[in-house]
Amino acid sequence: MLLKDCPVRDTIDVIHGKWKPLVLVALKPGSRRFGQLCREVPEAKQKVLTQQLRELEADGIVSRTVSGTRSLRVEYALTPYGKTLVRVLTAMAEWGALHRKRRSPISRRNS
């Protein structure tokens, strides 16, 4: 198989972006308002967060619901299709925790 045909590339194309995986983890428990997402990923600039949410929406991973008449309330949630990524994110988190533990003694020696 050519690397350009590898299905991992398709997955990366959807979740690439500095904040997308963290946004998806934040949405795992349920819907979140934009302000909540900003607080959960405080390092992300609002403009970038908005752009990445739009990309996730375009890919059918996240849904955006607007309600209210006076003050608009915008909520984001994983779509049923987006929830299929939870398994992938869980595996990434487990590997990350293992890697952090494995790397920890090395980091302490170099400090």
pLDDT (0 to 100) of residue 109: 53
pLDDT digits (tens, 9 = 90+) for 85-104: 999 999 999 999 999 998 87
In b/e form, how buried is each residue of 11-50, taking b as 16+ CB within 10 angstroms?
Answer: eeebbebebbbbbbbbbeeeebebeebeeebeebeeeebe
Q: State the pTM of this model.
A: 0.84
Order across the sheet with 32-33: list the strands.
Answer: 32-33, 73-78, 62-67
pLDDT (0 to 100) of residue 96: 92
Residue 81 belongs to domain with CATH number: 1.10.10.10
The count of domains in the chain is 1
Q: How far is C-alpha 98 from the geometric centre of its chain's CA atoms?
A: 20
Which residues constitute the domain of residue 25? 3-110
pLDDT tens, position by position, for the chain (111 residues)? 777 788 988 898 899 988 999 999 999 999 999 999 999 999 999 999 999 999 999 999 999 999 888 888 899 999 999 999 999 999 999 999 999 998 876 555 555
pLDDT (0 to 100) of residue 4: 77
